[in-house]
Amino acid sequence: EADIYQTPRYLVIGTGKKITLECSQTMGHDKMYWYQQDPGMELHLIHYSYGVNSTEKGDLSSESTVSRIRTEHFPLTLESARPSHTSQYLCASSEYRAITYEQYFGPGTRLTVT
Amino acid sequence: RKEVEQDPGPFNVPEGATVAFNCTYSNSASQSFFWYRQDCRKEPKLLMSVYSSGNEDGRFTAQLNRASQYISLLIRDSKLSDSATYLCVVRGTGNQFYFGTGTSLTVIP
């Protein structure tokens, strides 16, 4: 199982601020993902990366950016936070195990934009 | 059409009961299949991968029917600690993972 860390765990911030959510994993996994999840709802893919210098947009990516300069680090940046960004943000990485890729999640960042 | 569809429930069952969840997926080329468990306000945790021949892990049994594009999870002898939301997850051909909305289970004493 992967060790995935996310900081901060909770963040309350005002509208218009720039914020970066941090995600790190120590297992050397190439593939990493960012998801957004509202309470009681499904996970939506925001961005993903298949390795260093590789990033792709998911379904909800238009208001955020990511970078993948190091294998272990995959930060998510919101240039101008809005109340509609209030949600839980989950980072994940995946590894090949047995006969398939399995995905593991960090503890999440719960973001509130006021 | 959603990639993965699940009955959201809720399922309220007594301790010791057997409960089954079902899930369908839309892309016949999907590569891998999983069940995750998510507790309230926590991250999803991998419960088990689902193999073509079906597989069992203790009280949990997962089945895959590729012809019908259908995945199931059976929980036997339910415990209070099994109360959670169970997510059906499918990995597509492009290494993206698609999540169902989850099925809520409450095990009642």
Cβ contact, residue pair A103, B97, below 8 Å: yes
A75 and B CB contact within 8 Å: no
* pLDDT of residue A67 exceeding 80: yes
The chain A residue lying nearest B52, using CA atoms, is A99
Cβ contact, residue pair A43, B44, below 8 Å: yes
Q: Of A41, A58, A100, which is closest to B32 when you measure between CB atoms?
A: A100
Backbone angles phi, psi at A84, to 5 degrees: -65, -15
CA A107, A108, A112, A113 dihedral sign is positive
- Hey, of B5, B23, B43, which one would you mutate to test binding to chain A, going by the most A CBs within 10 A of its CB? B43
What is the band of A1 on the pLDDT scale with cuts at 50, 70, 90? Answer: low
Query: What's the pLDDT score for residue B31?
Result: 87
Q: pLDDT tens for residues A9-45?
A: 999 999 999 999 999 999 899 999 999 999 888 899 9
Query: What's the pLDDT score for residue B98?
Result: 92
Cβ contact, residue pair A90, B43, below 8 Å: yes
Q: pLDDT tens for residues B46-89?
A: 999 998 888 999 999 999 999 999 999 999 999 999 999 999 99
H or E, element range at A88: strand A87-97
Residues B20, A96: Cα–Cα separation, whole Å: 28
Cβ–Cβ < 8 Å for A2, A95: yes
Residues A46, A77: Cα–Cα separation, whole Å: 11
Residues A107, A23: Cα–Cα separation, whole Å: 10
Buried b (16+ CB within 10 A) or exposed e, B8-26: eeebebeeeeebebebbbe
